[in-house]
C-alpha cells in the first residue's frame, strides 16, 4: 500500500488526505497545530465538505477506523515507510507582507528525513520562483540533490472550498518538476486521486505563476463587475439581471459581485506576484491587478456607508443604531472566515454603530459580537445586513425576526437571499 504524508491539515490538507485514504493509500497527516491534530484524531472537524452524500466527519471517522488515516504533530515522527510528501502549508499575507516561516520550517524538517528516491510535491500557492529559489535549497540541506537523489515537483491546488472532494478528482492537474521524471513521479502519486486530465508544464515557474494569475484574474473580474453593477444601479437596472444577460454570450464570464472578495486565495493573489515583479523592476506592469485589489478591499467601507445613508434617510445616525449581521464567512455555505469581508464589515460597524450583533452558525471562531441565536442578534435592530448565506438561515422564522426588529428597520441584502425567504412589511435593499 502506498504510504503518503500530507503536511498541513487545513481546508486543503484534511480533505486531500482523506481522498488518498479513500483510494487505498495509507496517509499520515502532519500539522503543527496540536489542538487541531487532537481534534482530527478524535474524528472532529468544522469543515463543510461532503462526498457521495457522506459528510467529511463521516469520511474522517471511517478512515480513522480502517487505519488508513492518522494525524501527527511533527514530520520527524513519520515512519520510514513514507516516501511521498504532499505539502499544503500556505504562505499567509499579513499587511501585504508574505509570511514564509511556516513553509520554510516544513522544508527544514523534511531535509532532516529525506531519503534517496523520495518524492516531494508542493501544492501550496507560492510566489512564482519560490520552489526552485527557496524551497529546493532548504530541502537540499539534506545533502541530497533534487532531480537526482529525490524528486521535487510543484502541482498547484485549484479546488474550491465546499467542492474539495469532487474537485480533487475532476479538476485538471498541472505539474512542473525539477526534471521531467520528477513531474512524472508527482503525476503517478497525484493520479491515485485525480482522474481528470494532467498537464506537465515545461517549468515549475509556469505552474506556480499560472496558479497565482488564475486567482488574480478573478479578483480583477469581480472588481470590474462591481463597477458595472454600480453603474447599473445608478441607471435603475438590476445588476444581477445585467450580468445574467451578458453571460448568455458564450465567451463572456462575468463573476458575481458581493460584499467584497475574501478567503485565502483571491485577495492574496496579487501579493504573491509583487515580490517577483519588484525584483524584476516591473511592478508598474501589474497596475490593473493592483487597482482591482484596492477597489475590492474598499467594498466593506462602501457597504457601511450605504447603511449609514439609509439610516440618515430615516432620521437616525449609525452611532445610535443597532445593526444585525447574518453571515460572517468569506463565502456562502462555508465555515472559512479568513480574510472575510463580512467580518471586516462587522468590525467597522462595531466601531461606528451603537451596537452590532452577528449570527453565523457555521463559523467556529469566537467573536465578541457573535450571537448563537439569530433572534438574539436581531432584537431591536435598526437594520439587518445579509453578508453571506448559511443553510440554517433558510429555516429561521422571519415573521418572528420582523417582530423582533424595530418597526422602521430595513434589510441590506448583499446575497439576494431575501428573494428566497419572505419577510413582510420591511424595506429590503439589494446590494
Ligand X SMILES: NC(=O)c1ccc[n+]([C@@H]2O[C@H](COP(=O)([O-])OP(=O)(O)OC[C@H]3O[C@@H](n4cnc5c(N)ncnc54)[C@H](O)[C@@H]3O)[C@@H](O)[C@H]2O)c1
CA separation for the pair 175, 207 (Å, rounded): 6
The stretches of 27-150 forming alpha helices (DSSP H) are 34-41, 56-65, 101-111, 130, 136-139
Residue 30 or residue 386: which is nearer to ligand X going by CB?
Answer: 30
Q: CB of 99: closest distance to ligand X in angstroms? A: 10
**Number of neighbours of residue 104 by Cβ within 10 angstroms:** 15
What is the Cα 342 distance to its own chain's centre? 14
Q: With CA atoms as reference, report the closest residue to 182 among 201, 208, 157, 156.
A: 201
* Smallest gap from residue 267 Cβ to ligand X (A): 11
Give the whole-angstrom CA distance, residue 321 versus residue 382.
6
CB of 382 to ligand X, least distance (A): 35
Instruction: Sort residue 147 into left (φ over 0), alpha (ψ -120 to 50) or beta.
Output: left
CB 49 within 8 A of CB 164: yes
Cα–Cα distance, 163 to 344 (Å, whole number): 25
Q: Of 207 and 229, which has the nearer Cβ to ligand X?
A: 207
Task: Output the smallest distance, CB 8 to ligand X, in A.
Answer: 3
| Cβ proximity to ligand X, 30 vs 318, nearer residue | 30
239 or 267: CB nearest ligand X = 267
Binding site for ligand X (CB under 6 A): 7-13, 30-33, 36, 88-90, 102, 105-106, 124-125, 157, 159-161, 264-265
| CB of 156 vs ligand X, minimal distance in Å | 7
C-alpha cell at 264: 485565502
Residue nearest to ligand X (CB): 10
Q: Compare residues 371 and 389 and give the one whose CB is closer to ligand X.
A: 389
Residue 194: CB atoms within 10 Å: 20
Contact 21, 12 (CB under 8 A): no
| Cβ-based burial of 52 (10 A; exposed 0-12, middle 13-18, buried ≥19) | exposed
123 near 19, Cβ under 8 Å? no
- Smallest distance, ligand X to C-beta of residue 222, A: 16
Comparing CB distances to ligand X, the nearer of 125 and 131 is: 125
CB of 372 to ligand X, least distance (A): 24
Q: What DSSP letter does each residue of 221-247 carry, written as one string?
A: HHHHHHHHHHHHHHHT--HHHHHHHHT
How many whole angstroms separate alpha carbon 156 and alpha carbon 412?
38
CB of 178: closest distance to ligand X in angstroms? 20
Q: Which is nearer to ligand X, 157 or 308 (CB)?
A: 157
Residue position matching grid coordinates 422571519: 398
Shortest Cβ 410–ligand X spacing (Å) = 34
Rounded to 5 degrees, what are φ and ψ at 55? -75, 160
Cell of 45: 472537524
Which C-beta is closer to ligand X: that of 141 or that of 246?
Answer: 141
* Closer by beta carbon to ligand X, 105 or else 217: 105
Amino acid at each position: 500500500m502506498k504510504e503518503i504524508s500530507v503536511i498541513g491539515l487545513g481546508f486543503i490538507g484534511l480533505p486531500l488526505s482523506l481522498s488518498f485514504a479513500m483510494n487505498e493509500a495509507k496517509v499520515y497527516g502532519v500539522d503543527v497545530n496540536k489542538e487541531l491534530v487532537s481534534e482530527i484524531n478524535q474524528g472532529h472537524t468544522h469543515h463543510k465538505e461532503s462526498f457521495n452524500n457522506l459528510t467529511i466527519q463521516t469520511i474522517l471517522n471511517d478512515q480513522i477506523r480502517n487505519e488508513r488515516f492518522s494525524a501527527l504533530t511533527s514530520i520527524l515522527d513519520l515512519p520510514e515507510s513514507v516516501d511521498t510528501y504532499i505539502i499544503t502549508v500556505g504562505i499567509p499575507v499579513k499587511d501585504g507582507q508574505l509570511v514564509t516561516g511556516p513553509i520554510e520550517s516544513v522544508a527544514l524538517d523534511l531535509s532532516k528525513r529525506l531519503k534517496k528516491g523520495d518524492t516531494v510535491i508542493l501544492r501550496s500557492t507560492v510566489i512564482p520562483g519560490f520552489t526552485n529559489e527557496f524551497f529546493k535549497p532548504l530541502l537540499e540541506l539534506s545533502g541530497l540533490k533534487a532531480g537526482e537523489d529525490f524528486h521535487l515537483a510543484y502541482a498547484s491546488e485549484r479546488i474550491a472550498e465546499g467542492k474539495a472532494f469532487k474537485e480533487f478528482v475532476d479538476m485538471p492537474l498541472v505539474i512542473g518538476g525539477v526534471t521531467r521524471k520528477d513531474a512524472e513521479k508527482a503525476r503517478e502519486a497525484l493520479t491515485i486521486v485525480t482522474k481528470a486530465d494532467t498537464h506537465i508544464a515545461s517549468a515549475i515557474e509556469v505552474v506556480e505563476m499560472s496558479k497565482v494569475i488564475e486567482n488574480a484574474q478573478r479578483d480583477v473580474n469581480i472588481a470590474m463587475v462591481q463597477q458595472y453593477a454600480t453603474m447599473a444601479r445608478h441607471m435603475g437596472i438590476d445588476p444581477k439581471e445585467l450580468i445574467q444577460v451578458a453571460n448568455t454570450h458564450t465567451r463572456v464570464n462575468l463573476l458575481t459581485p458581493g460584499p467584497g472578495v475574501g478567503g485565502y486565495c483571491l485577495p492574496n493573489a496579487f501579493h504573491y506576484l509583487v515580490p517577483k515583479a519588484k525584483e524584476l523592476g516591473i511592478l508598474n506592469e501589474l497596475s490593473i491587478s493592483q487597482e482591482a485589489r484596492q477597489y475590492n478591499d474598499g467594498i466593506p467601507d462602501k457597504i457601511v456607508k450605504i447603511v449609514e445613508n439609509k439610516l440618515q434617510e430615516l432620521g437616525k445616525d449609525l452611532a445610535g443604531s443597532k445593526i444585525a449581521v447574518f453571515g460572517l464567512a468569506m463565502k456562502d455555505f462555508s465555515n472559512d472566515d479568513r480574510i472575510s469581508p463580512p467580518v471586516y464589515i462587522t468590525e467597522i460597524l462595531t466601531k461606528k454603530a451603537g451596537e452590532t450583533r452577528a449570527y453565523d452558525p457555521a463559523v467556529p471562531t469566537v467573536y465578541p459580537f457573535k450571537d448563537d441565536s439569530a433572534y438574539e442578534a436581531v432584537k431591536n435592530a435598526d437594520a439587518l445586513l445579509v453578508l453571506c448565506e448559511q443553510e440554517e438561515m433558510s429555516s429561521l422564522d422571519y415573521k418572528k425576526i420582523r417582530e423582533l426588529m424595530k418597526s422602521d428597520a430595513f434589510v441590506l441584502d448583499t446575497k439576494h437571499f431575501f428573494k428566497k425567504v419572505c419577510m413582510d412589511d420591511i424595506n429590503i435593499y439589494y446590494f
